[in-house]
Amino acid sequence: MRYDVHLEQFVPDAMPAGTFAAGRMNGIYDLDARRHDGEAAGHEAAAFIGRTRKSTPRPRMDDKPRSHPWPVVAHPKHKDFVDLDEDLQFKDFLHAIQEGFDHPELLKRYSTVGMGPSQANIPICSPCEF
């Protein structure tokens, strides 16, 4: 994975053989473009197992970010915090990747990013507000 500064998200840099990303994972958010990207990934997967030789060009990544910027808070003592609730620093991501947790879902679970008290800031409403 690599961080795309323009799109403000991680996107695949190099995929293992037999693995094909599509849609939002590739930075493609438009519904029709996501379908087209999924079709292209399907053709690549079929070609990988020798079922077809048809290829479909991939759509381009979106031209504007759909998420917030990378949430690293610079610190004068090089403690670049990513998640203050979990006291998680950028170096913790590097450690997780070094341990083999380089898939986004595994990295999230291993590092506990986004699993603290602020993961769902849902206000508590009294019954009379409904």
pLDDT digits (tens, 9 = 90+) for 7-56: 878 889 888 999 999 998 999 989 999 999 999 999 999 999 999 877 88
Structural domain contains residue 92: yes
Identify whether residues 53 and 82 lie together within a single domain: no
Structural domain contains residue 36: yes
Which residue range forms the structural domain that includes residue 110?
Answer: 71-118
- Cα 112 from Cα 19, distance rounded (Å): 25
Confidence of residue 67 (pLDDT cuts 50, 70, 90): low
Q: Which of 45, 66, 87 is the last residue of a domain?
A: 66
Identify whether residues 39 and 53 lie together within a single domain: yes
Structural domain contains residue 130: no
Identify whether residues 94 and 112 lie together within a single domain: yes
pLDDT tens figures, 75-108: 788 788 777 778 888 888 889 999 998 888 888 8
Identify whether residues 29 and 55 lie together within a single domain: yes
**How many domains does the chain divide into?**
2
Output the pTM of the full model: 0.53
Identify whether residues 55 and 13 lie together within a single domain: yes
- Cα 97 from Cα 82, distance rounded (Å): 15
